[in-house]
Structure 1
Amino acid sequence: MTVFVELAVGESAGQVSVSAADAIARVAQSVNASGIRLVDEVDSLRTIDSSIVGSYLAGRYGHLGYLIDARTTHNAPYNLARRVLSLDRATDGRVGVVLAPGEGDEVSDATTPDPQASDTSERWVEYADIVSRLWESFPRAALLGDQERATFVDDTLIAPINHEGRFYRVAGPLDGPASVQGRPVVVAADPDALGWSRIAAVADVVIVERNNIDGADAALSGALHSVGRRRSDVALLARLTGAVSAVELKQWAPDNGVDGFVLATSGRDEAAIVDLVRDVVPQLAGPIGRTLRSTLALRESAEVFA
């Protein structure tokens, strides 16, 4: 099973310092954790930018995967896609983005095709589709580096996405090649707000609170079937808060269709988080793959479904 340690890194209440995050990541890697989830706020208090913290930790702990929280609010799709893909290439394919629903950004809002569009879940699907297509707009096969023929790239393989939806106009393509895992992982962490049918169209991973896990596997399976995808195309992770028993979780997870866990740590100090990681992760974590997708038992090159 996969086990991620959730951290809020900053200086506000409920957050840990950068040095504490470094120490926790070191322990997490030593006990074979699947990765670190870096949230962008706790109780409406913002953290240090998750992509910056992820870049720092990834440079030190390269066997971990990194789930970077980001919102549609204030993040233009092209800019976020480029930033996440750069980190994904630097880590050899160990990055995913936990995309949260929200509002728009000043760059995109200036050219939005439908100024009246306001449904945040509809915006989320369109945004997730855009970044996924951008990540595949410059395939790795296009990067030739052929000195004899003086050919750096095969530009016939690079294609703009030319997207025009209700919320966004994005031409593309990105200015760098795809990562070794095909494209970064797209994570949805609010199925109640977004709706299972919308999540099923584009998500690679769904995070559900443990208290809401009843029926989640069936809801996800049904939604995936309706869009022509298989249950194995998406990993279902349970987010755990409070006391955790690894022995109980080993039995509980298969009974609830859970593929892995996210250990929430908000409100705990560094020592308590380290103890949690050392006590729980070794009993639950499965093997680490060469990329985040393989760690999650997902296909490493996946077409865009939306």
Structure 2
Amino acid sequence: MSVLIELAVGDPRADTRHVSLADAETIAEIAQELGAKGLRLVDRADGRIALDPSVVGSSLAGRYGGLAYAIDAPTTRNAPYNLARRVLSFDRATERGVGLVLRPGTGDEVSDAVAPDPQPTEPAERWSEYVDILTALWESFPREALLGDQEAAVVADDARIRPINHDGRFYRVAGPLDGPASAQGRPAVLVADTAALGWERVAAVADAVIVDEADIAGADGALTAAMEAAGRSRADVALLARIDGSGDPVRLQQWASESGVDGFVLAPTGDPASIVDVVRRVVPALAPSTRTPLRVALRRPESTEVGA
């Protein structure tokens, strides 16, 4: 069972849900030692902006390479090409360890300047188009295209590198990316906004779905039905319950089995000492993970193939 620890890294004086980078390092070290799959780094908590999760994750990954990193980013102020490049670079550096929790929002000044529709207002539709662009970009430079043939003076086989030439309602993106795909094929896509996006959109693209504990009832059934409608297997997507971790670990395991939950996102509140206490008490009891690609670890046990 995969367990992620949710952290907002920022100014701890501004809000009790924000921890300093030094405290995040302590929590990461303990989480890695106890077998947590990784960290979910959010870009805000309780309405307060946190440090950029991709920057924080890159810093932590240099010391705690046994952890995976799921980083939150909204469509707002993030041009698809820039975000795709940043996340994929991080994923390659960590060797299979990065996922993106893409949040629906508005546009960015780079994309809006050339948007086919200058007045789009549907965040869910924008999100769907954005995910399609990310996936296409992450696959635009296959790993096998990188040759590194010094004798022939050939860096890459450009015949295998494909521009995506996307021209949609919200975005125009030519591509391709300027670096090869990662070892896990592409970064994992996690979704945490099912109410805003709808199960149909989620089921089409997600590698994992994060649902708050209060909304978990019926989520497995809704996800299963949506996956079948999308022509995908429920085994291909992990359902992660976001909890504060204050409950009894044994009861959490039983509840997970009854609810169809495949893993947890622990989002403990309080000071760093309280967060460490939750990690020490809960993580060892919830099936510590192994060093597997994030997209594999997020799937159910019967599904282990890594796609492109």
Q: TM-score, normalised by structure 2?
A: 0.95
Task: Give 1:133's match in structure 2, choosing from 126, 132, 136.
Answer: 136
**Structure 2 residues without counterparts, runs of 5 or longer:** none
Asked if the contact 1:34/1:285 (under 8 Å) is kept, the reply is: no
Task: Give 2:286's match in structure 1, choosing from 261, 265, 284.
Answer: 284
Task: Give 1:25's match in structure 2, choosing from 5, 28, 31.
Answer: 28
Asked if the contact 1:182/1:300 (under 8 Å) is kept, the reply is: no
Is 1:4 the counterpart of 2:9? The answer is no
Give the superposition deviation at 1:233. Answer: 1.4
Asked if the contact 1:183/1:301 (under 8 Å) is kept, the reply is: no
Task: Give 1:16's match in structure 2, choosing from 14, 19, 35.
Answer: 19
SS at match of 1:60: coil
1:257 aligns to what?
Answer: 260
SS at match of 2:3: strand
Alpha-carbon distance between aligned partners in 2 of 1:196 and 1:295, rounded to the nearest angstrom: 22
SS at match of 2:9: coil
Q: Please give the per-residue CA displacement for 1:104-128, whole angstroms capped at 9, x wherever unaligned.
A: 0000001111123211011111111
Q: Which amino acid aligns with 1:146?
A: D
Task: Give 1:84's match in structure 2, choosing from 82, 87, 92.
Answer: 87
2:196 aligns to what?
Answer: 193
Alpha-carbon distance between aligned partners in 2 of 1:290 and 1:257, rounded to the nearest angstrom: 22
Alpha-carbon distance between aligned partners in 1 of 2:202 and 2:39, rounded to the nearest angstrom: 22
Q: Which amino acid aligns with 2:9?
A: V
Q: Please give the per-residue CA displacement for 1:179-211, whole angstroms capped at 9, x wherever unaligned.
A: 000000111101011100011111111000011
Give the superposition deviation at 1:142. Answer: 0.3
Asked if the contact 2:245/2:278 (under 8 Å) is kept, the reply is: no
Q: Which amino acid aligns with 1:272?
A: S
1:94 aligns to what?
Answer: 97
Give the superposition deviation at 1:245. Answer: 1.4
Q: Which amino acid aligns with 1:65?
A: A
1:295 aligns to what?
Answer: 297
Alpha-carbon distance between aligned partners in 1 of 2:63 and 2:150, rounded to the nearest angstrom: 33
Q: Please give the per-residue CA displacement for 1:39-82, whole angstroms capped at 9, x wherever unaligned.
A: 10012110011111000100000010000000000000000000
1:103 aligns to what?
Answer: 106
Give the superposition deviation at 1:300. Answer: 5.6
Give the superposition deviation at 1:268. Answer: 1.3
SS at match of 2:217: coil
Alpha-carbon distance between aligned partners in 2 of 1:197 and 1:138, rounded to the nearest angstrom: 29
Alpha-carbon distance between aligned partners in 1 of 2:154 and 2:176, rounded to the nearest angstrom: 19
2:151 aligns to what?
Answer: 148
Give the superposition deviation at 1:275. Answer: 0.9
Asked if the contact 1:250/1:284 (under 8 Å) is kept, the reply is: yes
Task: Give 1:65's match in structure 2, choosing from 64, 68, 71.
Answer: 68
Give the superposition deviation at 1:32. Answer: 0.4
RMSD between aligned residues = 1.2
2:58 aligns to what?
Answer: 55
Instruction: Please list, as runs of the form range in 1=range in 2, the aligned pairs for 1:222-237 lying within 5 A after superposition.
Output: 222-237=225-240
Q: TM-score, normalised by structure 1?
A: 0.96
Alpha-carbon distance between aligned partners in 2 of 1:36 and 1:23, rounded to the nearest angstrom: 12
Asked if the contact 1:204/1:235 (under 8 Å) is kept, the reply is: yes
Runs of 4+ in 1 over 4 A off after TM superposition: none
Asked if the contact 1:181/1:300 (under 8 Å) is kept, the reply is: no
Is 1:181 the counterpart of 2:184? The answer is yes
Alpha-carbon distance between aligned partners in 2 of 1:167 and 1:27, rounded to the nearest angstrom: 42
Q: Which amino acid aligns with 1:163?
A: H
Q: For residues 97 and 300 of structure 1, do their structure 2 counterparts lie closer, same or farther at Cα, with a shift above 3 Å needed?
A: farther
Alpha-carbon distance between aligned partners in 2 of 1:250 and 1:32, rounded to the nearest angstrom: 16
Give the superposition deviation at 1:302. Answer: 2.8
Q: For residues 177 and 299 of structure 1, do their structure 2 counterparts lie closer, same or farther at Cα, with a shift above 3 Å needed?
A: farther
Alpha-carbon distance between aligned partners in 2 of 1:240 and 1:248, rounded to the nearest angstrom: 13
Q: For residues 299 and 80 of structure 1, do their structure 2 counterparts lie closer, same or farther at Cα, with a shift above 3 Å needed?
A: farther
**Structure 1 residues without counterparts, runs of 5 or longer:** none
Give the superposition deviation at 1:149. Answer: 2.3
Q: Which amino acid aligns with 2:101?
A: V
Give the superposition deviation at 1:242. Answer: 5.9
Is 1:217 the counterpart of 2:220? The answer is yes
Alpha-carbon distance between aligned partners in 2 of 1:158 and 1:31, rounded to the nearest angstrom: 41
Greater shift, 175-184 or 270-279, is seen at: 270-279
Q: For residues 299 and 172 of structure 1, do their structure 2 counterparts lie closer, same or farther at Cα, with a shift above 3 Å needed?
A: farther
Percent identity between the aligned chains?
61
